[in-house]
């Protein structure tokens, strides 16, 4: 089961990279609004979501508290968790984090 899950995660990650590169190419060619560009964007977003879900399943499997055993992360799992962290940082919506609602400015002016 572990090997199938890890292989699936790697396959989805490779698909995500391919879709991302294709979309970047189409963007540079000014064709991102074409039908192909829109389809590639959808596939890129879906593969990213699938990767996140599969990584969550891997985390649940690795850190299942019911097993009672200690966890040693090595090999492919270690690489996947590292990539997962990098992908989460890169794909985070930083604009939401760095913009503040209007009431925040009012609080700052009072303080």
Mean pLDDT, range 23-32, rounded to an integer: 92
CA 56 from centroid of its chain's CA atoms? 11
The per-residue pLDDT of the chain, averaged, comes to 83
State yes or no: pLDDT of 10 exceeds 80: yes
Q: Is the pTM of this model over 0.85?
A: no
Mean pLDDT, range 24-35, rounded to an integer: 92
Domain extents in the chain: 2-110
Most confident of 36-45, 61-70, 87-96: 36-45
Give the confidence band of 28 by pLDDT, cuts at 50, 70, 90: very high
Distance CA 33, CA 45 (A): 15
């Amino acid at each position: 089961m572990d090997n199938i899950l890890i292989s699936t995660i790697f396959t989805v990650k490779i698909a995500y990279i391919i879709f991302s590169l294709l979309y970047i190419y189409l963007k540079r060619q000014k064709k991102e609004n074409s039908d192909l560009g829109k389809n590639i964007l959808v596939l890129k977003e879906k593969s990213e979501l699938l990767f996140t879900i599969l990584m969550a399943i891997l985390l649940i499997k690795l850190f299942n508290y019911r097993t009672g055993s200690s966890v040693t992360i090595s090999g492919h799992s270690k690489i996947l968790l590292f990539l997962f962290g990098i992908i989460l940082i890169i794909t985070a919506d930083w604009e939401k984090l760095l913009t503040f609602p209007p009431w925040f400015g009012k609080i700052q002016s009072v303080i």
